């Protein structure tokens, strides 16, 4: 892998073509197989979208997309939104997001905040102790990462 002299965005751009170029945006949208993730970027700032599955990570479990946004309070660091687009298999989505967040590429010191997003057309009923709720607690404790579920086209905030 590339030496960690630069920030994570510079290093990823040096090796991988982004799905959406690095530029200042006020909103972002990406989709796969009919499932769409949308987010408002507030404050408006530089963002870039990478395909993780098959590009940044080619084997094992991995999520679909990574949205990097420049940290508005420290422009030398980045915020990562790891996105898994699914129709219904939420438990597998959790495994994919967790494997991606644990991957060495994403332990870069300039990636200071991480968010995980499952965008699915169907979620299991929420009885208070679902695999999703347990994963949400684990992501917060183990990875300092906010795990959230969204319906397609339900706006998120970056």
Query: Which CB contacts under 8 angstroms, 24+ apart, belong to 47-51?
Result: 47/20, 47/22, 47/23, 47/158, 48/9, 48/12, 48/13, 48/18, 48/20, 48/21, 48/22, 48/23, 49/18, 49/19, 49/20, 50/12, 50/16, 50/18, 50/19, 51/19
Burial category of 65 from C-beta neighbours within 10 Å (exposed 0-12, middle 13-18, buried 19 and up): buried
Record the pTM.
Answer: 0.93
- Better pLDDT: 101 or 122: 101
The per-residue pLDDT of the chain, averaged, comes to: 93
Q: Tokens representing 3? A: 């030496």
pLDDT at residue 126, rounded to an integer: 66
**Band of the pLDDT at 128, cuts 50, 70, 90?**
low
Spatial distance between the Cα atoms of 115 and 67, rounded to a whole number of angstroms: 10
Residues 6+ apart with CB under 8 A from 144: 113, 114
pLDDT at residue 154, rounded to an integer: 94
């Amino acid at each position: 892998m590339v030496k960690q002299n630069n920030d994570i965005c510079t290093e990823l751009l040096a090796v991988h073509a982004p799905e959406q170029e690095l530029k200042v945006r006020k909103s972002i949208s990406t989709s796969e197989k009919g499932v769409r993730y949308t987010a408002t970027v507030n404050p408006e700032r530089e963002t870039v979208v990478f395909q993780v599955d098959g590009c940044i990570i080619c084997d094992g479990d991995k999520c679909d997309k990574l949205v990097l946004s420049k940290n508005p309070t420290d422009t030398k660091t980045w915020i990562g939104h790891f996105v898994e687009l699914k129709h219904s298999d939420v438990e597998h989505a959790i495994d994919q997001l967790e494997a991606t967040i644990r991957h060495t590429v994403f332990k870069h010191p300039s990636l200071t905040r991480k968010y995980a997003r499952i965008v699915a057309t169907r979620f299991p009923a929420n009885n208070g102790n679902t695999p999703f709720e347990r994963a949400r607690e684990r992501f917060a404790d183990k990875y300092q990462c906010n795990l959230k579920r969204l319906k397609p086209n339900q706006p998120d905030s970056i």
